[in-house]
């Protein structure tokens, strides 16, 4: 098999395996309960709602906010350390290789979806989301000084898809409780599902606070894209194939890069490599 094809297969296999392992609690899909065992001491480094019937571990975004929203308003060093370590190691490769919601977006996208460009303001919105996600649950508090995981509550379509709809279908006791908020979240989910068909990874690139966090590490992560300037002939093949439209030959570790490594696949001069930071990178 060609090296480029192998890379694509390897990435897809990793994404699917990760989605299956992270949501591998099969009894949850049969009944209406969620997994309550000791694996949930652990967090996954990507977005994966822990209220999904199949989820085996905690979602870092949900758990971080839930802890911040509690009366003590503590910042979880455990979760901050976990995602910082992952980011410092591989940056947004977490988004491109592990995130199940990222996989869903790629599976739904039409072949031409990557041709649609997002305005810079939309791309910057995820940083606003990150700032709000890590502050709001601790400062916008109600009775008893308790906040809420506002990102999960009002925006996260992953929770609606993986948990809300699945649990709502299975648990008759939950159905009467599903009102305006649920309708809003389902509407938002379907808006995003439609966008996923016509654009490439719209949620990751515009709203995901975890994607925003990992993007801060792309330039400084240990494993990154290294461009061999001496080999690069500026043909632009990497730029043309990039699904998130980054100027690869100018800034291979751009914050928007999800490290799908398509650029390394098409480079005729073999000037791009993903590996440990090198002098050229």
Residues of this chain that bind another protein (CB under 8 A) = 34-36, 38, 40-43, 49-51, 55, 57-59, 62-63, 66-67, 70, 74, 76-89, 148-149, 152-153, 156, 159-160, 163-164, 167-168, 174, 177-179, 181-182, 184-186, 217, 220-222, 276-279, 281
> Residue 225 Cβ, how far from another protein at the closest point, in Å?
13
Nearer to another protein, 49 or 109 (CB): 49
> Residue 236 Cβ, how far from another protein at the closest point, in Å?
26
268 three-state secondary structure: coil
Nearer to another protein, 268 or 275 (CB): 275
> Residue 121 Cβ, how far from another protein at the closest point, in Å?
27
> Residue 64 Cβ, how far from another protein at the closest point, in Å?
9
> Residue 213 Cβ, how far from another protein at the closest point, in Å?
12
> Residue 241 Cβ, how far from another protein at the closest point, in Å?
26
Whether 207 and 254 have beta carbons less than 8 Å apart is answered as no
Q: DSSP assignment of 109-162, as one string?
A: --TTGGGPPPPHHHHHHHHHHHHHHTTHHHHS--GGG----HHHHHT-HHHIII
Q: Tell me the CA distances in angstroms from 167 to 25, 34, 144, one per residue in order.
A: 14, 9, 29
Nearer to another protein, 36 or 119 (CB): 36
Q: Tell me the CA distances in angstroms from 73 to 17, 34, 136, 147, one per residue in order.
A: 35, 26, 10, 8
Q: And the tokens for 31? A: 């009944």
Q: Which residue has the tokens 């398509």?
A: 262
Task: List CB contacts of 23: < 8 A, sequence separation 6 or more.
Answer: 48, 52, 54, 55, 56, 100, 162
> Residue 23 Cβ, how far from another protein at the closest point, in Å?
13
Nearer to another protein, 234 or 276 (CB): 276
Q: Which residue has the tokens 């049969």?
A: 30
Nearer to another protein, 102 or 137 (CB): 137
Q: How many CB atoms lie within 10 A of CB 117?
A: 12
Nearer to another protein, 86 or 204 (CB): 86
Nearer to another protein, 14 or 51 (CB): 51
Looking at residue 259, the DSSP 8-state letter turns out to be -
């Amino acid at each position: 098999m060609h090296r480029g094809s192998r890379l694509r297969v390897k990435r897809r296999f990793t994404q699917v395996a990760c989605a299956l392992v992270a949501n591998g609690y099969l009894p949850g899909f049969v009944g209406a309960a969620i997994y309550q065992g000791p694996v949930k001491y652990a967090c996954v480094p990507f977005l994966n709602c822990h209220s999904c019937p199949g989820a085996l571990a905690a979602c870092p975004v949900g758990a971080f906010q839930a802890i911040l929203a509690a009366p003590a308003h503590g910042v979880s060093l455990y979760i901050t350390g976990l995602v910082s370590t992952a980011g410092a190691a591989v940056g947004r490769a977490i988004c491109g290789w592990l995130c199940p919601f990222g996989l869903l977006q790629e599976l739904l996208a039409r072949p031409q979806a990557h041709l649609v460009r997002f305005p810079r303001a939309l791309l910057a919105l995820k940083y606003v989301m990150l700032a709000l996600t890590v502050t709001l649950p601790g400062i916008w508090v109600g009775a008893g000084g308790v906040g809420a995981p506002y990102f999960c509550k009002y925006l996260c379509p992953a929770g609606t898809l993986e948990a809300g709809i699945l649990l709502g279908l299975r648990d008759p006791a939950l159905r009467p409780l599903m009102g305006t908020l649920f309708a809003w979240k389902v509407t938002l989910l379907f808006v995003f599902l439609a966008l996923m068909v016509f654009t490439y990874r719209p949620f990751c690139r515009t709203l995901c606070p975890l994607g925003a966090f990992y993007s801060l590490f792309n330039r400084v992560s240990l494993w990154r894209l290294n461009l061999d300037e001496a080999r690069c002939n500026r043909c632009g093949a990497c730029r043309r194939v990039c699904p998130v439209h980054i100027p690869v030959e100018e800034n291979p570790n751009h914050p928007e890069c999800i490290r799908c490594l398509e650029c390394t696949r098409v480079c005729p001069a073999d000037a791009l490599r993903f590996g440990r930071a090198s002098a050229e990178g």
